[in-house]
Amino acid sequence: MRLALREMRRRPGRFTVAAAILTLIALLLMFLGGLLDGLLAGSTGAYRAQQADLIAYSSDAEESLVRSRITPEVRAEVARAADGARVAGLGSVQLGARLDGRGPRDLVPVVLFGFEAPPRGIDGDPPPPGEVYADDSLRAEGVERGDVVRLGADRTPVTVIGFLDDSRYSGQATLWGSLPTWRAVLEANRPGARVGEGVVQALVIGGGGSAPAPAARDIDDATGGATSTLTVDAAIEALPGVAQQRTVFNQIIAVTVVVALVVVALFFALITVERTALYGVLKAIGASSGTLFAGVLLQALVVTLVAAVIGIAASLALDAAIPAGSLPFLADPARLLTNVGYLVVASVVGCAFSLRRVLRVDPARAIGGEG
């Protein structure tokens, strides 16, 4: 083991090519993971911000917030079946927002949510009609506390009174106001989609004593199938594009890990061939095959970890440099550690291909030049 580390200190150039290639792979892996997490965060923040266990849609909405309509009668049935849990209404509408100081066609896409139960980051009751909280990403558009944002073709004015983090939805910034604010904006800009008094698009349910999945079934049974109730995690997976994005990126990440495995395998296979005579000498003086392979594995791990550290540092720097609401990139610590784990596994498996050659080294033949 000490001999392996000494070789790396004295002959670092031998490992430069492998380190450079693995660094590029690590950078790609970290970027792909950060891009995936950023895309998912930008699509699902509004649901993850809900302080609830369940989300109930109307049964004919196909888990779509836009198509869902919950009447007061259905809501009453849900409340009775919710086992004392808080039941609160939720509505949404996607519109273009005009900001003061910009041209009439320079629109910022936003989603206005009307809520009864405050999402994470908002304390207390919903704001008065005409006032909203804004997602922090709108700061990058120049929005500040006290600014008036004009929504939709009707240019309905709402005033920003505060900000909250990580609440984007479908890749768009969000505004959070009361249900009366939502109804007024919806009626003014989407007359065909307006809803009656007491009607909401969905219900967020939380704080009950039952486990979420059985509680969801109980609610749907109680409403006679008028609702489709999902856990928050299931509702997130049902959002358009979320599952597809995760599948595609995970496949690309898997291919990248396989490439890292092949690089390690080829490089250290060549190194092992070059060292055949050296291994013969070491075996002749008592070194075991296990000790020799441990040295190869240690060198592979050192090279891989150096590449991974560079990848993590670059990922964190990129995350810090990107303005909120621009490139969907998120350097999540769990993702970074997972990617490091993938690289380590790839290096171990790649080194395993050199094990057979190390085991086959015969001291007499290797020293005699016949290995």
Per-residue pLDDT of 152-168, as tens digits, reads: 999 999 999 999 999 99
State the residue for tokens 């693995």. Answer: 22
pLDDT at position 348, please? 86
Split at pLDDT 50, 70, 90, the class of 14 is confident
Spell out the alpha helix ranges (H) of 66-145: 72-81
Provide the percentage of residues in the chain whose pLDDT is more than 70. Answer: 88
Q: Mean pLDDT score of the chain, rounded to an integer?
A: 87
Mean pLDDT of the region 239-254: 91
Q: Looking at the predicted structure, is the pLDDT value of residue 272 above 90?
A: no
Buried/exposed code over 19-55 (b: 16+ C-beta within 10 A; e: otherwise): bebbbbbbbbbbbbbbbbbbbbbbbbbbbbbbbbbbb
Contacts of 333 (CB under 8 A, 6+ apart): none
CA distance 31 to 281: 44
> Which residue, chain included where needed, has tokens 């003014």?
188
- Residue 290 scores a pLDDT above 80: no
| Structure confidence at residue 106 (pLDDT) | 83
CA separation (Å) from 168 to 109, 176, 237?
11, 11, 15
Say yes or no to pLDDT of 366 above 60.
Answer: no
Token pair, residue 90, equals 């939720």
Average pLDDT, stretch 12-40? 89
Partners of 231 in the beta sheet? 54
Helix locations, the chain, DSSP H: 2-10, 16-48, 72-81, 179-189, 212-222, 232-238, 242-274, 276-284, 289-321, 333-360, 363-367
Identity of the amino acid at 179: L
pLDDT one-digit tens code per residue, 295-308: 778 888 888 999 99
pLDDT tens digits for range 67-92: 999 999 999 999 999 888 899 999 99
Distance from C-alpha of 265 to C-alpha of 262, rounded to nearest angstrom? 5
Residue 11 vs residue 169, higher pLDDT:
169
Q: Which residue has the higher pLDDT, 47 or 281?
A: 47
Q: What is the DSSP letter of 160?
A: E
State how far the Cα of 269 lies from the Cα of 7, in Å rounded to an integer: 17
Of the pLDDT bands very low, low, confident and very high (cuts 50, 70, 90), residue 248 is very high
The answer to whether the CB of 134 falls within 8 A of the CB of 140 is: no
Residues 6+ apart with CB under 8 A from 369: 277
Model confidence, pTM: 0.81
Q: Which whole number is the average pLDDT over 310-336?
A: 89
Is it the case that residue 364 has pLDDT exceeding 70?
Answer: no
